[in-house]
Amino acid sequence: NPTRSLSRHPLFQVMIAFQTTTGTVFDLPGLDARLEPDASRIAKFDLTCGLHERRGEDGGPAGISGALEYATDLFDEPTAASFADRLVRLLTDLVTGPDQALSSWDLLGSSERELVVRGWNDTE
């Protein structure tokens, strides 16, 4: 029975969700039903990445779209944007080079790498 903080979700703080149900039609007799976006604008977790599959007019794959939701008391917009940039970089590397060794993938952009390797590591 560990002591839990009421300011955190008890199971996890980060969630990634991938929706593949694009174009779902609710055909219910006598009922007009449709999906409505969640407009609460309140982060339910520290960080949530929601991805969904896009389809073209012909029903074929047309890419993936996503949104990042984050707790503003924990992250600022530039930090959240850097998370999103890293995820895009990782997914791009995964798709363009699925046979590459995991160690060859670089999550950091050139400016981030410069900061980590030279900026923060300047010990003179």
> Per-residue confidence of the chain (124 residues) as pLDDT tens digits?
767 777 777 778 888 988 886 556 777 888 887 777 777 777 788 899 989 888 888 988 888 889 899 988 889 999 999 999 998 888 888 888 889 888 888 888 888 888 888 888 877 7
How many domains does the chain divide into? 2
Give pTM, 2 decimals. Answer: 0.69
Same domain, 43 and 60: yes
Same domain, 40 and 84: no
E strand or H helix at 111:
helix 110-114
Same domain, 15 and 70: yes
Same domain, 87 and 67: no
Position 41 in a domain: yes
Q: What is residue 78's predicted lDDT score, i.e. its pLDDT?
A: 92
Same domain, 66 and 91: no
Spatial contact of 80 and 68, defined as CB atoms under 8 Å apart: yes
Position 80 in a domain: yes
Same domain, 31 and 46: yes
Same domain, 27 and 55: yes
Position 114 in a domain: yes
Q: What does each C-alpha distance from 10 to 21, 35, 68, 69 come to in angstroms?
A: 28, 29, 21, 19
Q: What is residue 6's predicted lDDT score, i.e. its pLDDT?
A: 75
Same domain, 124 and 83: yes
Q: What is residue 92's predicted lDDT score, i.e. its pLDDT?
A: 87
Same domain, 70 and 22: yes
Same domain, 26 and 61: yes
Structural domain range at position 114: 76-95+105-124
